[in-house]
A and B are shown apart, each in its own frame.
Chain A
Amino acid sequence: DTGVSQNPRHKITKRGQNVTFRCDPISEHNRLYWYRQTLGQGPEFLTYFQNEAQLEKSRLLSDRFSAERPKGSFSTLEIQRTEQGDSAMYLCASSRDTSRGKETQYFGPGTRLLVL
């Protein structure tokens, strides 16, 4: 068990550029979540996958955001035409579906995005 990994760990970009983040979940985990954490706040839910299917999206996920999880393994989160308000820590978490929803979400180290 190598844990949840995220790449890159840090990303600095100019406003208007596109960025893509990657998350590799724990290998046997079928659920994958993306959260966004701004300074001084708790993480906020963005979107959720069960295997390769994207089952839920938050209203925070504007049209400029898109997430994929091809083949139900790693996931990517792309932000198009970045804005300064997109600056945040983007967290990925994974879990394994268990009975009665006794899942535990394991978090990655996050990707810190700074939009200049």
Chain B
Amino acid sequence: AQTVTQSQPEMSVQEAETVTLSCTYDTSESDYYLFWYKQPPSRQMILVIRQEAYKQQNATENRFSVNFQKAAKSFSLKISDSQLGDAAMYFCAYRANYGGSQGNLIFGKGTKLSVKP
């Protein structure tokens, strides 16, 4: 069975600084997607960034980038120039790609990020 592990329950960063959130996963599949979702307090979950396993290039979205190490099954999220609005729970998630058929997300337990002014 696939699993996702986030070993950092809480992280803190100073505003404008850079922080990296860790995620490891376990799977026997070769074709899958990895995601980072952000869940602000009392607000709905939104997608931050997505990585396709067959692409070696790390995904980037503005201040957010990932370090995808397929062999090590590691998928970390780097947030640059942290802003107060980045404070939230961050969830790493995995989804196998069965040729376009269904694929539920498997989530880690989350990392609570605090941003200090």
Of the listed stretches A17-25, A39-47, A65-73, A77-85, chain B binds A39-47
Question: 13 A-B Cβ contacts within 8 A?
Answer: A41-B109, A42-B91, A42-B109, A43-B107, A48-B102, A56-B104, A98-B100, A101-B101, A102-B52, A104-B50, A105-B47, A107-B37, A110-B44
Q: Is the CB of B100 within 8 A of A100?
A: yes
* B interface residues, Cβ below 8 angstroms from A: 4, 33, 37, 43-47, 50, 52, 91, 93, 95, 97-110
Q: Is the CB of B44 within 8 A of A101?
A: no
The smallest C-beta distance from A48 to any residue of chain B, in angstroms, reads: 5
Report the Cα distance A61→B98, complex, angstroms.
Answer: 22
Q: Is the CB of B103 within 8 A of A101?
A: yes
The smallest C-beta distance from A111 to any residue of chain B, in angstroms, reads: 12
Closest to A9 in B: B42
The secondary-structure label for the interface of chain B is loop
Q: Is the CB of B105 within 8 A of A43?
A: yes
Q: Tell me if A91 counts as interface (CB < 8 A to partner B).
A: yes
Report the Cα distance A55→B98, complex, angstroms.
Answer: 14
Closest to B101 in A: A101
Q: Is the CB of B110 within 8 A of A42?
A: yes
Report the Cα distance A40→B43, complex, angstroms.
Answer: 15
Q: Is the CB of A91 within 8 A of B45?
A: yes
Q: Kindly identify which residue among B46, B50, B103, B108 contacts A107, using a CB–CB cutoff of 8 Å.
A: B46
Report the Cα distance A50→B104, complex, angstroms.
Answer: 12
Q: Is the CB of B109 within 8 A of A50?
A: no
Contacts of A56 in B (CB 8 A): 102, 104
Contacts of B100 in A (CB 8 A): 97-101
Contacts of B4 in A (CB 8 A): 42
